[in-house]
Structure 1
């Protein structure tokens, strides 16, 4: 007697769901939790236990990425600068490629606007930075971005500064100091102020004589 095989449906494979989040996502969430807590209760008032509880991760996860809270704070500083630079670059890239006056104006305006919105995070992550810190790599990265805009405008014949780096330093320091002033004054809308600062900074650049 021949036994007919039963009509067995082939097993369907279901896509395996990842048990854990990608490392970069987990790290970003961990740093985001720390930033939120630092803003709400201060760096000193926040413990590593607070951070991992807020991020809903094990304490070992924290130590996988950071040796201490101070090391995390340094990483938050780097992240702040990276995000700041991206914001500036995206604003500049939205301008016409050959309009160097507008690109510089927008860089200055966006710098003021972004700093005014994020100064509380800035003050947390840069608490140990001073104006005389000559090895401030984050400041240098922003200065390099600004200097490049000035140099490109010079190469295009828009202006002719004696020293583009000096002009960049003056603009950077002026913008930073001016924004500190409106933060202290608790100015809610800084748009007019930012435009006026941008116009004043542009006057530092000597236009090429026609």
Structure 2
């Protein structure tokens, strides 16, 4: 057995340890020493990957968005390829539930790193816009501005989910269905 772990494993362990500590103690109160201790790596390993805690947060933000995107893609791909309304509903519904599940990490990484040119967020928007374009090509709905519609749905879902988190409804699944229903009104059906 090799004595050292693969680089990817060490990196994942560092980020997982940081996330756990950030959620428990907060970003400011967490030290690099605590992160490396929990990850069971040398302090030099941390600096091999990151120059600072702030850089680690940036990497965590990228990873958060990639995981979010993958969860959406998995849910959407479970739908029939030509059922654009189901794919759109699934994208919206899943967005609400995944955000509710992960909002604490989201708030940590995006409070510290709010990048309007966030390429990972743009991938989410492109994913949603692709669903909208597919529905247009299938003749399901007509959209004058698919990108703007995608932005409205994306940010609307995000804002509505923030409201739900603040209000803590009894049933997030029911709330997600309501958000989906409202968002569907943004697309004109033929």
The alpha carbon displacement at 1:35 in A equals 0.4
**Greater helix share, structure number:** 2
The alpha carbon displacement at 1:142 in A equals 1.2
The aligned residue for residue 113 of structure 1 is: 97
Larger radius of gyration: 1
Answer yes or no: is 1:125 the counterpart of 2:109.
Answer: yes
TM-score, normalization by structure 2: 0.96
Q: What 5-or-longer segments of structure 2 have no aligned partner?
A: none
The aligned residue for residue 82 of structure 2 is: 98
The aligned residue for residue 5 of structure 2 is: 21
The aligned residue for residue 59 of structure 1 is: 43
Secondary structure of the residue aligned to 1:18 is coil
Contact 2:58–2:113, Cα closer than 8 Å, also in 1: no
Q: Distance in 1 between matches of 2:153 and 2:95?
A: 11
Answer yes or no: is 1:138 the counterpart of 2:127.
Answer: no
Alpha-carbon displacement from aligned partner over 1:10-64 (angstroms, at most 9, x marks no partner): xxxxxxx111111111110111000000000000000000000001111011011
Runs of 4+, deviation exceeding 6 Å: none
Contact 2:57–2:113, Cα closer than 8 Å, also in 1: no
Q: 1:194 aligns with which of 170, 176, 185?
A: 176
Q: What 5-or-longer segments of structure 1 have no aligned partner?
A: 1-16
The aligned residue for residue 177 of structure 1 is: 159
Answer yes or no: is 1:31 the counterpart of 2:15.
Answer: yes
TM-score, normalization by structure 1: 0.87
Aligned residues: 190
The aligned residue for residue 69 of structure 1 is: 53
TM-align CA RMSD: 1.2
The aligned residue for residue 5 of structure 1 is: none
Cα–Cα, structure 1 residues 70 and 129, in superposed 2: closer, same or farther, change >3 Å?
closer
